[in-house]
Structure 1
Amino acid sequence: METFFSNQKQTLSRAFCLSAAVICLGATNNAWALFSDDEARKAILDLRKSLATTQLELQGEIDKLKADNAELRGKIEGLEKQGEDISSSQKTYYQDLDTRLGNFEPRTATIEGVSGTVQPNEKKAYDDALKAFQAGNLKKADEAFSAFANKYPKSPYLPLALYWGGNSKYANKDYAGSISQLQSLIKRYPNHPRIPAAMVTLGSSQLESGNKIAAKKTFNEIIAKYPDTDAAKDAHQLIAATK
């Protein structure tokens, strides 16, 4: 009996120790599990923090590159604008230079279909005569156009000088001079675009000088040769005065 109880004690003792060992082992495993989770969380937080720092640094680099790119683009645009300004200035410079040189050197020009060499100061002489006519200073204009025709007999401006000179003489009531000058123009430049208008002034000079037959002939010629022009309309109105 005593032996039985002794065996039972030993059995209970072993069971207790085994249970205690299991409990201790379980506690140890739970502690290890808790330790691993904390370390993992810390590692994740550290990684997130590191990534966030890296992203901020990268964003800063990107923003800096954008700013540098914008500054560079602005400099390029500025250089392009400077290039355009320089090109425009050079073009203006060479145009001015060409104009200045034209005042000292002969140049070729085509004026209302007539080509020729324009001598230095030739255009200025023509322009001054025309300005005098436009200002109503007819005597000065007549003298200036006559002087121009004598000085530049081969000028491409000569047909215009003869045309305006003939009109100046007509306005000054120098009808004979107007007739002579305009007939010279018509003979030398029969296809010049000013011929229809020149013939109107010619017919008017002939009419004012009392030669109605010549005037009527001139007006009829205008109507026949240039039917759809303002000159023909003027001739139709003036021809009534030749009857």
Structure 2
Amino acid sequence: MQKLRALMLLGFCIASPVQAGLFSDDDARKSIQQVEARVLVLEEQDKLQTKSIFDLQGQIDMLNGELRKLRGQNEETAHGLQDAEKREKDFYVDLDTRLRHFESQEVSVQPKAEPAVSGDPDDPAAENRAIEAAYSLFKAANYANAAKALQEFIKKYPASVHIPNAAYWLGETQFALKDYKGALVTYRALLKASPDTARAPDVLFGIAGSQQELKAVTQAAATLKQLVGKYPDSAAAAKAKKILAK
């Protein structure tokens, strides 16, 4: 723009001698002033236009930055949802594996009738036969009859050395029957009555599984942490660590 102004002034000066006879000095000065004023207007317009372009580019850069940030947040959210879905799926798979561990490898014919547990409560042989019959139903995945047999055994032989195992199998049976509230009650009663039972780690794992099925996810996580803290070397703790890590 400075070059334009100089060229216009130069042209006017060159033309002035030729037209000296046509214009007075006052007219010449007025023409120069008009040209200068016009040049100044053009310069100001150029400055404003340049500033507008820079302002617009700044706004575009800012919007692009916000767009990149939103895309990053969206990707993080999608990734978090995928991780949550995978953790939930892995938890259910692990629970299913734990239950199937107690089932027989091949079950061709399942017992149909509920075994009798009648007899003398003080007869050790009758007591052993009763718990063996109930456990056979449990192993055969005949959970409905197994639950009845185990409940009857616990009621008939409350002082039996087999009570902790019977209560644990009852909790597992209730879980398999999707009676998660009943399983939770059975597991907790077992820990309260026999806190030192060798089944304690597995019982805590069963409690966590029941809580998960009942949508008490926070409580389930707390139970798994309790299991790891109290029985860190147990097989149940190893499974709990994997679930918590995921």
TM-score (norm 2): 0.49
Structure with higher Rg: it is: 1
Higher relative contact order (CA 8 A, sep 6+): 2
TM-score (norm 1): 0.50
Q: Which has the higher strand share?
A: 1
